[in-house]
Structure 1
Amino acid sequence: MLPWFSNDKFPLYLAPMAGVTDVIFRRICKELGADVMVTEFVSAEGIMQADDRTRKYTEFTDEQRPVGVQLFGADGARMGEAAKKIVDWKRPDFIDINFGCPVNKVVSRNGGSSLLRDCPVLESVAAGVAKAVGDIVPVTAKIRIGWDENSVNAVEVGKILEGSGMQAIAVHGRTRAQGYGGEANWNVIDAVARAVSVPVIGNGDISTGADLVKRKTETAVSGVMIGRAAMQNPWVFREAKHYLETGTTLPPVPLAERWELVLRHCRLAVASDRYGSEKQTLTAMRSRLMSYCKGFPGAKELRQRLCHVGSVAEVEDLAGFSLGQAEIAELC
């Protein structure tokens, strides 16, 4: 049993999201109540080639524990070797295998959700990683419910993964064909949770405390994973835990506190030198900033202006403008 599931704990995972859940965003979400972290996925081949850029994706701090490093690939032996390297470098709390990514550039390399169509290879990958590092750290996996609506096979895949040594399975309730559209199918997630004896983490359409309680009470999952909702609202973890404990909803996060977090994220990113110069960093963060600003007063104009920011000072100016406009609106 993974310790974060013991004593009837119901952990909240931050879903791994490429280009989003870097070491800085994970730090923010941990402070706001996320229980378990998973890194952005990394290529097993990139790890084997000692690629510095790939290795950066495995970075985490002890404050973020428990944290897992997520790998993708289609060769069980090579995946196992890559997992050993990661364990030697950083000793994460677990290794996670990505069988769910729907992105073409991953699928075309026979990684991510493509393996849902090839269960023998999926089994060999899971078993290869578990054999390589399973006695040192736990190995878990993330899947989607199937390739498309005509091949929903998550229950079968879940049983294969359990038999291959996976100690927990996260299930995104959409098919690869759905991408991120439509509704997550929690009936299938529930069926997987009832079919295996290892913990199952449900993923899809969790954006409020009420969503969390509904899935906790109506399904057999042992925890939930929150992804896109956290991009816009990292306070979702704090809000969900409060609702779980009290049955009440916290008041909305004030606009000033939201801007304070946005600016903090920008400053931490620039200080980390992860993306290069300040301009390069802010350029890389533009889509993240636009996600943060969904629901802000004047959000449409803000997003248009955020498309062009190149410094923290420019974001500070936009924050001041936004807060000033909000104050004027209240007076009116």
Structure 2
Amino acid sequence: MRIGPHELPNSLFVAPMAGVTDRPFRQLCKRLGAGYAVSEMVTSRKELWNSLKTSRRANHDGEVEPIAVQIAGTEPEMMAEAAAYNIDRGAQIIDINMGCPAKKVCNKWAGSALMQDEALALSIVEAVVAACQPHGVPVTLKMRTGWCQQHKNAVRLARAAEQAGVALLTVHGRTREQGYKGQAEYDTIAAVKAAVKVPVVANGDIDSPEKALAVLRATGADALMIGRAAQGRPWIFREIEHFLSTGTHRAPPLVAQVHGWLVEHLHDHYSLYGEWSGVRTARKHIGWYVRGLPGGEALRQHINTLESSDAQLSALNDYFEALSQRHVHLPDAPAAQVEQPEPEVA
């Protein structure tokens, strides 16, 4: 699997999720089997580039290459400048966001709202490609099947984007109107795959090894992108990779392994965000790790009352030590426990 000059170790991608797929999370997913990860989306609004949020999102210190950054906006010139800004900060692949269904994004005609204005969408693609070409940086595009059920234009946009120089296309199998409700449909992704020659990535509702295989067969896609199912379960990538390679299931991770991964994740998280913000933003990640586990809900509620990283880590150490005395491997958590992502999911 290649994106421009970059050869990837496999075809399993981490979806860009604002507030979730920061550098510590991406790094852990890559360690646990993901071949590629795209950053949280970075705004094209120049006045926000010096904000703490954007500076953190543009921080790629120590990140495993290739470094892919998603940009969002509505003006071709601003999007081109945003591409150049992120290339200067280490981006090796630029991804254009035409998939985010969040109201605060779509109300500004960014994200999936761009699919309503194909001329503007294409102008943005052309401007970003032109800005990236002198640097040898490939451009990718993430979109939905369309704005609504009556306006599915993913195939037409995919053809136009390919002609404009996009190196890879990702399609989430829902319209913007659907948000994350209902079931993802894969016929449109298959139609996009049949219509273009560049690699196509299937996204939407991939939450198990069996589902991954089924989506590959249904779409003929070159790769899979996983978002919500990786929240609190970054080892899903190695589980899927093993199943696709062997047809058998990998044993669940050891409780001690999950404990170690979570502690590693949190140390990296605190380092990026600092003590005050790090403790508070870590709470959701901890909640995702322990959802559905014995005593997990009580731990989550307790974690939400703690005000220091030391207290969080101490509570987690106590919890996992007790869990390891009852279970060698991580107990299965009910699939129904999977939560919706934060609003800014691309």
Give the TM-score normalised by the residue count of structure 1.
0.90
Mark the CA change 1:309 to 1:48 in structure 2 (over 3 Å): closer, same or farther.
closer
Q: Could you tell me how far 1:40 is from its partner in structure 2?
A: 0.5
Change (3 A) 1:51 1:34: same
Distance in 2, matches of 1:145 and 1:243, equals 28
Aligned to 1:127: 126
Q: Counterpart of 2:299 in 1: which secondary structure? A: helix
The equivalent of 2:278 in structure 1 is 281
Which residue identity lines up with residue 119 of structure 2 in the other structure? Answer: P
Q: 1:232 to 1:98 in 2, by over 3 A?
A: same
Q: Go from structure 1 to structure 2 and tell me whether the alpha carbon gap of 1:6 and 1:269 turns closer, same or farther (over 3 Å shift).
A: closer
TM-score, length basis structure 2: 0.87
Is the contact made by 1:102 and 1:179 (CA closer than 8 Å) also made in structure 2? yes
Q: How does 1:92-111 map to 2 (within 5 A)?
A: 92-111=91-110
Cα root mean square deviation, aligned: 2.3
Question: Does the 8 Å CA contact 2:23/2:59 hold for their aligned counterparts?
Answer: yes
* Identical-residue share of aligned pairs (%): 35
- Which residue of the partner structure matches residue 157 of structure 2? 157
Q: How far apart, CA to CA, are the structure 2 residues paired with 1:306 and 1:17?
A: 23
Q: CA deviation at 1:162?
A: 1.3
Task: Report the Cα offset of residue 64 of structure 1.
Answer: 1.6
Paired residue for 1:69?
Answer: 69
Determine the C-alpha separation between the residues in 1 that align with 2:35 and 2:24.
15
Match for residue 85 of structure 2? 85
> In 2 relative to 1, CA 247–176 (structure 1 residues): closer, same or farther, beyond 3 Å?
same
d(CA) in 2 for partners of 1:39, 1:216? 24
Q: Relative to 1, partners in 2 of residues 1:313 and 1:5: Cα closer, same or farther, differing over 3 Å?
A: closer
Map 1:1-332; keep pairs closer than 5 Å. Answer: 2=3, 11-46=11-46, 50-51=50-51, 53-61=53-61, 63-90=63-90, 92-135=91-134, 136-270=136-270, 272=271, 274-276=272-274, 278-323=275-320, 325-326=322-323
SS at match of 2:127: helix
Determine the C-alpha separation between the residues in 2 that align with 1:85 and 1:280.
Answer: 26
Matches of 2:49 and 2:267, distance apart in 1: 32
Number of paired residues? 326
Structure 1 residues 196 and 317: CA distance shift in structure 2, 3 A: same
Using the alignment, how far apart are the partners of 1:238 and 1:281 within structure 2?
Answer: 27
Distance in 1 (CA, whole Å) between partners of 2:318 and 2:16 is: 33
State the one-letter code of the partner of 2:102.
Answer: V
Pick which of 211-220 and 231-240 moved more.
Answer: 211-220
Shift of 1:322: 2.7
| Contact residue 10 and residue 35 of structure 2 kept, 8 A | no
Task: Please list the CA deviations of residues 255-308 of structure 1 after superposition, one character each: whole Å capped at 9, or x if unmatched.
Answer: 2322222222222222x2x323x2331112211211111221122212222222
Corresponding residue SS for 1:69: strand
Deviation at 1:132, TM superposition (A): 1.5
- How far apart, CA to CA, are the structure 1 residues paired with 2:277 and 2:52? 18
Q: One-letter code of the match for 1:65? A: E
Aligned pair in 2 of structure 1 residues 82, 320: CA closer, same or farther (>3 Å)? closer
Deviation at 1:24, TM superposition (A): 0.8
Unmatched runs of 5 consecutive residues or more in structure 2: 328-346
Report the CA distance between 1:321 and its aligned residue. Answer: 4.0
SS at match of 1:64: coil
Higher RCO (CA < 8 A, seq sep 6+) = 2
Match of 2:341 in 1: none
Unmatched runs of 5 consecutive residues or more in structure 1: none
Alpha-carbon distance in 1 for matches of 2:94, 2:13: 14
Structure 1 residues 48 and 83, CA gap change in structure 2 (3 angstroms): farther
Q: Give distance in 2, aligned partners of 1:111 and 1:3.
A: 26
Judging changes above 3 Å, is the alpha-carbon distance between structure 1 residues 29 and 324 closer, same or farther for their aligned structure 2 residues? closer
